[in-house]
């Protein structure tokens, strides 16, 4: 559980009015979202306060975005942050703890769900938006269908 209030975070949730149906392993996708939100908290600037989680869909995919107003990522580092043990130059020299595995694992879990995970940032001090896309199911059901996955 993430304690937004004690971290001084203004958390905003924007949900689609249309129910979305995706097949996911709830525990694994919770791990992905927790990692993305934890990163937004860890890599914030001293005056960073906002994290916005948005859920929406197009004809084929559901999307979840985690947007922050943190330290951002330089364009030449965006793809590399998914590599194991890679940390941006700015984070290496800072007090931020971590081993550089989180985003790589988050991407791997998302891809195991036939989805994609990518980041967008306009550069240093411009914040970051992480986007998860997951294919909508053709079952026509409502909500999120949790698929129990016994594979570890």
Q: Is 22 helix (H, G, I), strand (E, B) or coil?
A: coil
Confidence of residue 1 (pLDDT cuts 50, 70, 90): low
pLDDT tens-place string over residues 5-44? 777 788 888 987 777 889 999 999 999 999 999 999 888 8
73, 119 Cβ separation under 8 angstroms = yes
pTM: 0.78
Supply the pLDDT for residue 124.
85
pLDDT tens-place string over residues 73-124? 888 888 888 876 555 555 444 545 544 568 999 999 999 999 999 999 988 8
d(CA 122, CA 127): 7
pLDDT of residue 60 exceeding 90: yes
Q: Work out the average pLDDT over 37-60.
A: 89
Q: Is 68 helix (H, G, I), strand (E, B) or coil?
A: strand
pLDDT of residue 152 exceeding 50: no
d(CA 3, CA 141): 32
Total residue count of the chain as it appears in this document: 152
Supply the pLDDT for residue 88.
54
Q: Is 49 helix (H, G, I), strand (E, B) or coil?
A: coil
Supply the pLDDT for residue 85.
52
Confidence of residue 48 (pLDDT cuts 50, 70, 90): confident
The residues, ordered by sequence, that sit 6+ positions from 57 with a Cβ below 8 Å of its Cβ are: 16, 18, 20, 63, 136
Residue 107 CB: number of other CB atoms within 10 A?
A: 20
113, 25 Cβ separation under 8 angstroms = yes
Q: Which of 15, 19, 36, 14 is nearest to 132 (CA)?
A: 36
């Amino acid at each position: 559980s993430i304690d937004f209030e004690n971290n001084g975070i203004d958390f905003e949730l924007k949900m689609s009015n249309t129910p979305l149906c995706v097949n996911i392993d709830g525990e694994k996708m919770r791990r992905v979202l927790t990692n993305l939100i934890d990163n937004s908290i860890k890599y914030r600037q001293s005056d960073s306060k906002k994290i916005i989680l948005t859920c929406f869909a197009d004809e084929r995919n559901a999307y979840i975005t985690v947007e922050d107003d943190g330290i951002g990522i330089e364009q030449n580092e965006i793809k590399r942050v998914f590599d194991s043990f890679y940390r941006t130059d700015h984070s290496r020299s800072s007090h931020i703890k971590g081993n550089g595995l989180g985003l790589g694992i988050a991407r791997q879990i998302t891809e195991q769900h036939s989805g994609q995970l990518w980041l967008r940032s306009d550069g240093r001090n411009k914040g970051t938006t992480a986007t998860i896309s997951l294919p909508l199911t053709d079952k026509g059901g409502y909500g999120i269908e949790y698929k129990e996955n016994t594979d570890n």
